[in-house]
Structure 1
């Protein structure tokens, strides 16, 4: 008994605040570097949260945050959907959605004062992986770009991986915002500008149209956000967009291939041919909307959409999709909004959109202007990214979403009666 009491007394002396600080900092740093490190950090952070206890305080914090309550409601709907889902098909998706609980772990552990350091840690991780990705250019710059020696493959563990293009688009906007906030030209400006160059080079070397599209849209929004409707700013933006596009098209072979590929896919779609990357996405969303129409309120379950696709493809009205049937039957709609509506219905989608709405509401409680801008453009990044794929089921993008929503959720919590 004495031994147990001693151990409990010793655990009470553990500085959990410091442990959380370094764990969350390292999670942000490692997020672009390693999936294995991310998994390890998530497990470790969750264990520390459970060992700390103090669940009464944490529960009060959750109750005081509309954002976290909406998240809990969404996860409850996901759990309820298992009762009418094919468990064999659904448990994998259920496990992926359960990772969103880490948002609550981070939100009830982080401090507002840490936000700046966490953003910096993320940028440091990005810089390291970008330099690693571009290292072949140091030895053979011209031929590496022209012959695509640096290639963007699905399993490439660098920033050239298609999965990481969203990281790059978001990172570029953070850097642009930081450069904007530097009051006078100094070595920091030069270093940040060099960082921006490596980020954009990585982005346009990637075959991913998603990240490139997100960057262009974010740059337009950022210009309007910072300069309002200013003719000089609009002209400068137009020149910048044209310059970036022309340079990338003429000097980065991968980007040129992406543009040509998009042109070819548009030509195929005009002929009614869906046998292309974008064509298949459109076909999947057409079928998904039909599934939602038949199951509008609660959806068909987490994994049952595949069976619904097969039923629809047997109908004559979808005969034009016969040449891509094999691909469609094994894929999801590549649209987070449509996917959620299929899985848990329009009710589930509304709750998910409430989470996003509460994120926007939380913006007004962020006192630091630069941090407020970063969170705003983080939300916009994912609002666009959700249109292109199921980002919450992919490990890398889900981790990024969890970190920043979790960190910025702290401002949605009423700390009036809380000590943390």
Structure 2
């Protein structure tokens, strides 16, 4: 017992810091692969973080970061919202989803800047695995439902095969994947040609995958990511900027014309939007019209709880109370599907202001390289788009954002030994991934 309570030596602390960096690489890989495995891995990281002790020393620098402070303020306002909420159970569910806002404080207490490229590549490789499995299901090489004994590994659908993620999340993941590869191709001029060719093949591979994924939020996010990446790259060359934007327009138009899935989903969205606006019959006119109706009724809740909101757990109860009987089936929907109205419903205009302070803190951050600042801009633009579709507090989007943001703002070399990636380390990473996948699937 005495040995457990005794603080570890500095050598042990440095080893733990090294392990935490390696585990964060694996965490980034598992985000698009399996939520249960990712969560189990984080609990391991948290145990190591707690055992390392010296919280004041390790957290002091991370806590002084303005972006970390903005995340914490946004989280704290939701925690305060629990004090005046009646639906405690739903409030706890919301706080559980929001816990990822605390992660940058933990990550920056150990993150070594030398691990940043490895973290980004780990996410890209994890997303590539997810895309490959999507192809395999689409081509019916793998089944739509797959189980090992009593443990379900995935369940997906023919119209939008995304075995590891919900199809909306998969679409957003493809957008990030394409954005990173496109930025690399356009901006890293001195890289070897074969690496650029591999990146280009991966980009095309992902775009084709998007053509049979029925994610309208993914389509919107992808277009914005490509547009922002091009603007960032050619902001000082108007001719190249305009010609590139025109090329993107042609590519998008081609995908719309030749992909039955994209064409159908976009046309249905437009039709549903028009019907929802004209007839004010929301539920019967599809998901787009439903989102319009939920947003309209949400605004009524906001008006009555303008300053502080209705509380972290009460917003859906109050929203359902605003829905008239003729649209009562809208009450069955679990969330407002628009984060821009969900935030003020929960924590008022003050909460919405705190969110935009977070966005401002990210966009105005200067203590990093140009490339990392550009990636932050791409991440922020993407987030602002998919929030319109109600995506932010999920187990894919928010963890991914906080990991990548933490990587982009990390600027310290820890007192640890950093070794280059080799076959030995690859097999170690693979063994740990398999271990946590088994834990995640069977727990």
Show CA shifts across 1:234-275 (max 9, x none).
1332133223321x2343221121122123213413532323
Q: Aligned partners of 2:373, 2:46: CA distance in 1, in Å?
A: 27
Task: Name 1:317's counterpart in structure 2.
Answer: none
Task: Name 2:410's counterpart in structure 1.
Answer: 410
Confirm or deny that 1:304 pairs with 2:310: no
Of 224-233 and 89-98, deviating more is: 224-233
Task: Name 1:164's counterpart in structure 2.
Answer: 170
- 1:129-140 alignment runs, 5 A limit: 129-135=130-136
RMSD over aligned Cα, in angstroms?
A: 2.8
**Number of matched residues?**
396
1:234 maps to which of 242, 246, 269: 242
Task: Name 2:37's counterpart in structure 1.
Answer: 37
Mapped contact 1:309–1:329 kept (Cα < 8 A):
no
Task: Name 1:361's counterpart in structure 2.
Answer: 364
Q: Aligned partners of 2:35, 2:390: CA distance in 1, in Å?
A: 19
Confirm or deny that 1:116 pairs with 2:117: yes
* Closer/same/farther in 2, CA of residues 7 and 216 from structure 1, 3 Å limit: closer
* Closer/same/farther in 2, CA of residues 324 and 200 from structure 1, 3 Å limit: farther
3-state SS of paired residue (2:134): helix
Mapped contact 1:152–1:162 kept (Cα < 8 A):
no
Confirm or deny that 1:151 pairs with 2:159: yes
- Structure 2 gap segments, 5+ residues each: 142-155, 417-443
Task: Name 2:347's counterpart in structure 1.
Answer: 344
- 1:124 Cα offset (Å): 1.1
Task: Name 2:82's counterpart in structure 1.
Answer: 82
Task: Name 1:291's counterpart in structure 2.
Answer: 301
Mapped contact 1:292–1:342 kept (Cα < 8 A):
yes
4+ aligned runs moved over 4 Å, structure 1: 1-11, 136-140
Show CA shifts across 1:71-100 (max 9, x none).
222222212211111213311112211232
2:289 maps to which of 276, 279, 284: 279
* Closer/same/farther in 2, CA of residues 18 and 345 from structure 1, 3 Å limit: same
Task: Name 1:324's counterpart in structure 2.
Answer: 327
Q: Aligned partners of 1:55, 1:287: CA distance in 2, in Å?
A: 45
Mapped contact 1:159–1:165 kept (Cα < 8 A):
no
* Closer/same/farther in 2, CA of residues 327 and 13 from structure 1, 3 Å limit: closer
- 1:194 Cα offset (Å): 0.8
3-state SS of paired residue (1:296): coil
Q: Aligned partners of 2:352, 2:274: CA distance in 1, in Å?
A: 33
Q: Aligned partners of 1:20, 1:152: CA distance in 2, in Å?
A: 36
* Closer/same/farther in 2, CA of residues 243 and 195 from structure 1, 3 Å limit: same
Mapped contact 2:34–2:164 kept (Cα < 8 A):
no
Task: Name 1:47's counterpart in structure 2.
Answer: 47
* Closer/same/farther in 2, CA of residues 327 and 129 from structure 1, 3 Å limit: same
Task: Name 1:335's counterpart in structure 2.
Answer: 338
- 1:14 Cα offset (Å): 5.8
- 1:208-223 alignment runs, 5 A limit: 208-223=215-230
- 1:92-111 alignment runs, 5 A limit: 92-111=93-112
Q: Aligned partners of 2:139, 2:371: CA distance in 1, in Å?
A: 33
Mapped contact 2:391–2:397 kept (Cα < 8 A):
no
Q: Aligned partners of 2:7, 2:66: CA distance in 1, in Å?
A: 37
Show CA shifts across 1:97-132 (max 9, x none).
123222211122212222122111111111122112
> What is the TM-score normalised by the length of structure 1?
0.85
- 1:372 Cα offset (Å): 2.7
